[in-house]
A and B are shown apart, each in its own frame.
Chain A
Amino acid sequence: MAQNAGVELHIHQLEKSYGHLAVLRKINLNIKSGEFVAIVGKSGCGKSTLLRHISGLEKATAGGIKQNQHALKGLNDQARIMFQDARLLPWLSVLENTGVGLGLEKGWKNRAYWALQQVGLEQRAEDWPAILSGGQKQRIALARALASKPKLMLLDEPLGALDALTRMEMQSLIEELWLEQQFTAILVTHDMNEAITLADRVILIEEGAVKLDLPVDLQRPRNRLNPAFAELEEELLANVLGKVRIHQYEPRLRKVESK
């Protein structure tokens, strides 16, 4: 049980800047084993950059991340990423693409097939990715990420490009698999509704810093019609938009129009 559980993460004073541009400013964040955390914020706020640091694709300017008490260095072995685009290899079959999640190392076939079964696409195993729909492609990407039974799943707006219905289906699939396999999950999204549907905690990042850390204590599976759900969503939205700012922008907009 213990070795199957997700990793825990301690992010300590994490900073990242590109030249003079500070993208992340002293981020402190603790994520428990098996927790589902959503990171939200406007585009360009640094939420994807934070995720890339956790995956080890980026190097911090200062501060660091500890995973299960060990400092992260280089690519994170425990983590698997789902990107916004599925990033399937068009020249490999669906099964082989899933096998990429296992490094195509010996014996990948059975486990890849198992992963495909988890997302319900085992009957498409021999097809080329090109003939699949967008939702199916993301399912394959999910199977690929699941295949190695990761202890940390990083979801970088994986559902952003899908239509509303497919997105809801994928959300419940992700929730189901997370409940079953108990990995730690970090979801970057711009969709407040999605964040509250899935996460135990929603972190709002603004200009590279944590602005809000909002626990979501609702029973799963979550009901979007629940008043408590709507209340949380409203609170989150108000924080993201920052009511004062909207008023500040209005006169500027008018100026542009009158030109």
Chain B
Amino acid sequence: MKETSGNIYNRLAPWIIPALLLAGWQLFAMNESISGSILPPPLEVVQTGISMAASGDLWTHIYISFSRAIIGFVIGGGLGIIIGMLNGVYPFAEKHLDTTVQMLRNIPHLALIPLIILWFGVGEESKIVLVAIGVFFPIYINTYHGIRSVDKGLIEMGKVYRLSRWHLFSKIILPGALSSILVGIRYALGTMWVTLIVAETIAASSGIGYMSNNAREFMQLDIVVLAILLYAILGKAADSLAKLLEGKLLKWNPVYQKNE
């Protein structure tokens, strides 16, 4: 019995501080310590959320932002993993590609927004391209680094034991690099949201960023705050998903084994 109540507490513990913050916010808003024109009370934000959800507007915006994020992430992340592996495994590829990638990496990708808009317009492509560029570099760097830092002793062992090239890669190099690749993915998820928010705020006619920016023009503070909350929730959801993935893929690692 003791164990289960301990379990429940452990599950709830991370949410105590967010809950207290929300309660405090509501309290201060209700006794008017904070004016409604600076920060609307949370219940009002929730009500706005519910009514927007009922009308379907909210879902459209979320869906659009979400699909931009995913498509951009898959394209940029996929390229990052492929090129990172290529450069990690083949010295020839590294010699010819790494310098170029490192040069490009040092350009802040958000600085490309004007160029990207000129090239791709304000439609879907520009957002997807920006997200893809944003997530490419963290995933590339971590994949490359992960592969280069695989224990040389294990690779030598694999060779002595006559593993095929495919097995050498799939059983030694890739799993050895995986934890580093996953760090890159988690980091890139952060970059993904930042890029999307900026891109949608600057030039878009849909999506959460647009919804927020549009509300600002009409002084709809509740919607602005709602958008910010949505980003927090979506960001946390993405991170939890990555964590889940880590737990599944790295279950051999004692660090990721849950104490029972």
Q: Are A130 and B153 in contact (CB under 8 A)?
A: no
Residue A229 is within 8 A (CB to CB) of chain B in the complex? no
Q: Are A103 and B160 in contact (CB under 8 A)?
A: no
Q: Are B252 and A91 in contact (CB under 8 A)?
A: yes
Q: Tell me the A41-69 residues at the B interface (CB within 8 Å).
A: 55, 57
Residue B158 is within 8 A (CB to CB) of chain A in the complex? yes
Residue B161 is within 8 A (CB to CB) of chain A in the complex? yes
Chain A residues near B254 (CB-CB < 8 A) = 130-131
A91-B163 contact given A83-B153, A128-B252, A130-B252, CB 8 Å threshold: no
Interface locus among A73-81, A109-117, A160-168: A73-81
Q: Are A100 and B160 in contact (CB under 8 A)?
A: no
Complexed CA–CA distance, A104 and B169 (Å) = 13
Chain A residues near B250 (CB-CB < 8 A) = 91
Which of B154, B163, B167 is A87 in contact with, Cβ under 8 Å?
A: B154
Chain B residues near A79 (CB-CB < 8 A) = 160
**Nearest CB on B from A107, distance (A):** 15
Q: Are B156 and A57 in contact (CB under 8 A)?
A: yes
Q: Tell me the B238-260 residues at the A interface (CB within 8 Å).
A: 250, 252-254
**Nearest CB on A from B182, distance (A):** 13
**CB-defined interface of B147-171 with A at 8 Å, one 1/0 digit per residue?**
0000001101111111110010001
A130-B253 contact given A83-B153, A87-B157, A91-B175, CB 8 Å threshold: yes
Complexed CA–CA distance, A83 and B156 (Å) = 10
Q: Looking across the interface, which residue of chain B has its beta carbon closest to that of A105?
A: B164
Residue B172 is within 8 A (CB to CB) of chain A in the complex? yes
Q: Are B160 and A75 in contact (CB under 8 A)?
A: yes
Q: Are A104 and B172 in contact (CB under 8 A)?
A: no
Which of A55, A77, A83, A92 is B171 in contact with, Cβ under 8 Å?
A: A92
Q: Are B154 and A89 in contact (CB under 8 A)?
A: yes
Residue A201 is within 8 A (CB to CB) of chain B in the complex? no
Complexed CA–CA distance, A87 and B152 (Å) = 10
Tell me the A residues contacting B by CB distance below 8 Å: 55, 57, 75, 77, 79-81, 83, 85, 87, 89-92, 100-101, 103-104, 128, 130-131, 144
11 A-B residue contacts at CB 8 Å? Answer: A57-B156, A79-B160, A81-B157, A85-B153, A89-B175, A90-B253, A91-B175, A92-B252, A103-B167, A104-B163, A130-B253
Tell me the B residues contacting A by CB distance below 8 Å: 153-154, 156-164, 167, 171-172, 175-176, 178, 250, 252-254
